[in-house]
Amino acid sequence: MTARRWTLVLFAFTFLAGGWLAAHHAMAHSAATSTGPLIGHMVYFKLKEPTAESKARMVALCREYLKGHEGEVWFGAGVVGNEFDREVNDRDWDVALHIVFKDKTAHDKYADHPRHLEFIKLFREHVAKVRVFDSLLEPENVSK
């Protein structure tokens, strides 16, 4: 390969990598500053039959119906951790859902979305109790 060709390849790579980094930074920044604070949507489900299978099924339903909505910044679903048994730990739940939205508009769209409404219909008969905690989050960068 000639020096000129190497220079062109290096320039193209640098241009593409720089563009990707700039776009990634812009998306992360806009998620935190779009139209207000981030919205934390935390839901705790107490199942009627808290077997390992029903917990796994509920986590799978959360992933299938609730992950990937417009404006989601972060998604997670899982089961209560048995190793967390301090006196301060509230253990009156079996499955947790945590979603962070870029703003209240995204949260409100999610709340009315057909996939979310279908999820509610599916889980209703299997759940003894649902607790929803929505909060305004001020983002902090903790990476070092």
Give pLDDT tens digits for 49-73.
999 999 999 999 999 999 999 999 9
pLDDT-based confidence at 25, cuts 50/70/90? very low
pLDDT at 70: 97
CA distance linking residue 19 with residue 7, whole number of Å:
18
The model carries a pTM of 0.73
